[in-house]
Amino acid sequence: MDKTNTHIPMWLLAELTFACPVQCPYCSNPLELSASRKNELSTEEWIRVMRDARKLGAVQLGFSGGEPLVRTDLEELVVEAKSLGFYINLITSSIGLTAEKIAVLKKAGLGHIQISFQGSNRESNKLLGGTDSFDHKMAMTKEVIKQELALGLNFVLHRQNLHQVEEFLTMAQSLGAEFVELANCQYYGWGLHNREHLLPSQAQLIEAERVTNEFRDKYKGHMDVFFVAPDYYDDRPKKCSNGWGTTFMTVNPEGEVLPCQAAKVIPGLEFPNVRDHTLTDIWNKSDLFNRFRGTDWMTEPCKSCPEKEIDLGGCRCQAFMLTGDATNADPVCSLSPHHDKVLKITEKAQRPYQEDETQKLMFRNPGNAKKLKAEKSELAE
């Protein structure tokens, strides 16, 4: 199967570190937490990755993690990325950010900062993110606006904070944010582990969308609001990252290259490392990137489906996680013979939201990672 790949990886997501001061229970990172950071790519290795990605035609670069501000070489990486011609996005919890650092990063060439909030007020932000960081996030949001960098606010939604959408939008508006993303969390990694206590009811979603639409009408032209619904409630799936191996490339902290952030959940895939191969070879020739590119890999009902080019069979990770086979149709699709599995999950989510459900969340931290690992090995014995 030697096809010439004509796709350009427009987006490079550079996950600089798994280390993170926030403990979000919806994090898409793997459940295992690296014990140390010594295996992280070095500054020189990241520069090589960025240079190769530019050669392939990548234009958007996201520095993410974990928390990218943990890296002491961030400024150097931004300078290098800028000189290569990337548009640079920093995806951060804002913990570790200061007014000085914003100025330094702006001067280095940073274009856009996206700050995530876990809750719309001090208490819930602390409760749902496991850090007392609300006041700092507010201060940094104001500072980014003051220094005239493009700012995006990101509010990760789930059943335990969907009722806060109005409070959050009011806050974003009063701060002067131009761009707000209300993204329902996805169920990978820690998010999958906590899915039962994160998946909202349909009633919660309808109300949140109603409030969002009201806001959109009221502040049209001043604040753009994006609402990303959880696809468990759709009857057609979403393309995987705009199509597996078509647009996105993620390089994780230890140099493995992934077609999407979650792909490591699929067993039997080998993840080529930038320490062993060039990015060009990985993108064009690796088994991994060719595995689900296009439509040749499909099984029924996707294979003969007239809509197959529209959603490319949906998310491969979701297909594996819910049906046990990554070549199946994403079971979010109502045409999938496994669609009942999604219905069963959403059925259970129709119970009303209760405040004390927060206690059942497993927060992402080394202690919990250890606990989960121990449970897993007990099961294996």
Partner 1 sequence: MSEFNLETASFKLNPRYQFQWEEAQQCHVLLYPEGLIKLSGSAAEILQRCQAPTTTATLVNELNKAFPGAEGLTDDVNEFLADAQQQVWIVQVSD
Annotated binding-site positions for [4Fe-4S] cluster = 20, 24, 27
For the bound state, the minimum distance from the C-beta of residue 161 to partner 1, rounded and expressed in Å, comes to 23
Binding mask 27-66 for partner 1 (x = CB under 8 A): -----------------------------xx-xx-x----
Annotated binding-site residues read 20, 24, 27
Which of 25, 68, 111, 245 lies at the binding interface for partner 1 (CB under 8 A)?
A: 111
**Dihedral sign, CA of 333, 334, 340, 344?**
positive
Binders of partner 1 in range 141-200 (CB under 8 A): 150, 152, 179
Which of 43, 75, 87, 163 lies at the binding interface for partner 1 (CB under 8 A)?
A: 87
10 binds partner 1 (CB under 8 A): yes
For the bound state, the minimum distance from the C-beta of residue 216 to partner 1, rounded and expressed in Å, comes to 17
- DSSP secondary structure, 256-290, as one string: BEESSTTGGGSTT----BTTTS-HHHHHHH-HHHH
For the bound state, the minimum distance from the C-beta of residue 60 to partner 1, rounded and expressed in Å, comes to 6
266 binds partner 1 (CB under 8 A): no
- The CA distance from 321 to 138, in Å, is 37
Contact between 344 and 287 (Cβ < 8 Å): no
345 binds partner 1 (CB under 8 A): no
Dmax (CA) of the chain: 59
366 binds partner 1 (CB under 8 A): no
219 binds partner 1 (CB under 8 A): no
Alpha-carbon distance values, 214 to 105, 165, 166, 170, 268 (Å): 35, 11, 10, 12, 46
CB count within 10 Å of CB 251 equals: 24
Contact between 358 and 17 (Cβ < 8 Å): no
The torsion of the CA quartet 211, 216, 222, 225, rounded to 10 degrees, works out to 80
Nearer to partner 1, 62 or 253 (CB): 62
Q: Which stretch binds partner 1 (CB under 8 A): 111-119, 129-137, 291-299, 347-355?
A: 111-119
First to last CA, the chain: 40
DSSP strand pairing (257-258 vs 248-251)? antiparallel
Binding site for partner 1 (CB under 8 A): 8, 10, 56-57, 59-60, 62, 85, 87, 89, 111-112, 114, 150, 152, 179, 221-222
